[in-house]
Amino acid sequence: MLGTAPLPVLDMTKKRSHSSSIKIVKRDSRSVKLRLGVGGTAERIVSALHTVLSEQADEDADLENCKTSMRHVGKMEKDVDSACSKAEDPRRETLCTKLKDEEATMKKCIEKLKAVEENRAAVVSELKEALQEQESELEKVRTQLQVMFPKHPKTFEG
DSSP letter string, the chain? --TTSPPPP--TTPPPP-----EEEEE-SS-EEEE--SS-HHHHHHHHHHHHHHTHHHHHHHHHHHHHHHHHHHHHHHHHHHHHHSTT-THHHHHHHHHHHHHHHHHHHHHHHHHHHHHHHHHHHHHHHHHHHHHHHHHHHHHHHHHHHHH-GGGG--
Asked whether residue 19 carries a pLDDT value surpassing 60, the answer given is no
Per-residue pLDDT band at 110 (split at 50, 70, 90): very high
Q: Which pLDDT score is estimated for 112?
A: 92
Residues 115 and 107: their CA atoms lie apart, in Å, by 13
Average pLDDT over residues 117-137: 95
pTM of the shown model = 0.62
Residue 17, pLDDT > 50, answer no
**97 domain residue, yes or no:** yes
Q: Is residue 150 part of a domain?
A: no
The verdict on residue 116 lying in a domain is yes
Determine, yes or no, domain membership for 14: no
In a domain, 9, yes or no: no
Structural domain harbouring 115: 31-131
For residue 147, tell me if it sits in a domain.
no
As for how many domains the chain has, the answer is 1
Per residue in 54-83, pLDDT tens?
988 899 999 999 999 999 999 998 888 888
Domain annotation covers residue 71? yes
Whether the pLDDT of residue 1 is over 50: the answer is no
Has residue 138 been placed in a domain? no
